[in-house]
Amino acid sequence: MKQVTVSAPSNIALIKYMGKIEGSGNKPTNGSLSYTLENLRTYVRLTEVDGAQDQWKPLVREDLQKIELSEKGQQRFIKHLQNLKDKWGIKQSFLIESANNFPSDCGLASSASSFAALTLAAAEMFQQINPQPWGTDKKYLSELSRQGSGSSCRSLFTPWALWQHEYAEPMAFEVKNLHHMVVIVEDSKKEVSSSEAHKLVTTSPRFTGRPERAELRLKDLSMALQFNDWHIARQIVWDEFIDMHRLFETSTPSFTYMNDGSKKVLEDCQAFWNKWQDGPLVTMDAGANVHLLFRHDQKKQFAQYREHFEKDFKVMAFEGVKDNVH
């Protein structure tokens, strides 16, 4: 029986994918740019099995954290595998097993790493069974992954990924080797899923002009990262996540992910920035937790922020890998 095990990283968007073209298989209404979180990974083991049906189970491995998926979550995974099987013309059935190397109860969405890992595992397996000329083309695999979960298409590239239309592509900016910290202010499952958020934001009056605002920031941020202008980058990244959260608050019905903990962390980040005139890039996803990205030379601040936020919150901190371009 054939078996493959593959892992893929998560990613954090600095210019956000929020809003998709209806019925397009997760094509975005604006381009997005993400930093790849090499340390937060999903592992997928795919095993060829006898029987007529594909199945999902948690992957049990000592070094990994067990994940539980709802029936709906399992079906989404199985549907994505079926889509990939159809592309390769594969008839065999498979057992999908997956696990994360980070706790699933820490409020970190893992759909990007999960779908990227499943796509890569399937590609590796299916190339053995029925090789296709496009079967190892990373941009095409990114396009396939996008159809399972939009943001996953960016997880195929590192350290930066730009996603404009069908697939993501790698970007090599001067800014790299960042240290990553997540201040976990909320670790329960969120009430509004990102799939629902993509739909709801279109009801906000602020959605008019949102693609243009995001595209402009994308252009400006790319320049800032290319020319190592950290201050400008930090301002653009801050404005961008606030813009996304305002969309949530002005939707009908209105919703929010920000809680008192998030607000406190943001206030402290702003106060530190004012004091030192330097600090990390700050961003939030469709969730309450706050992500911080520090330059490689900000190791001292990285330790200071960690010490500060650990007094009140759970903190996950990962030192940047030197020259993580591959």
- Return residues touching ligand PMV (CB under 6 A): 13, 16-18, 32, 111, 149-151, 194-195, 285-286
Measured from the CB atom, the residue of 149 and 251 that comes closer to ligand PMV is 149
Q: What is the closest distance, in whole angstroms, from the C-beta atom of residue 32 to ligand PMV in the complex?
A: 5
**Smaller CB separation from ligand PMV, 152 or 301:** 152
Closest approach, Cβ 149 to ligand PMV, in A, equals: 5
What sign results for the dihedral spanned by CA atoms 184, 189, 191, 196?
positive
Q: Shortest approach of ligand PMV to residue 243 CB, angstroms?
A: 12
Q: How many CB atoms neighbour CB 146 within 10 A? A: 28
In DSSP notation, 76-126 reads: HHHHHHHHHHHHHT---EEEEEEEESS-TTSS---HHHHHHHHHHHHHHHH
Q: Nearest approach, Cβ of 212 to ligand PMV (angstroms)?
A: 17
- Count of C-beta atoms within a 10 Å radius of residue 12: 24
| 192 vs 223 by CB, closer to ligand PMV | 192
Torsion angle in degrees (nearest 10) through CA of 296, 298, 301, 303: 30
Q: How far apart are CA 12 and CA 32, in angstroms?
A: 10
Q: Which is nearer to ligand PMV, 44 or 286 (CB)?
A: 286
For the CB of residue 294, give the shortest distance to ligand PMV in the complex, in Å: 20
| Residue closer to ligand PMV, measured from CB, 31 or 298 | 31
Full DSSP string of 55-73: EEEE---TTSB-----HHH
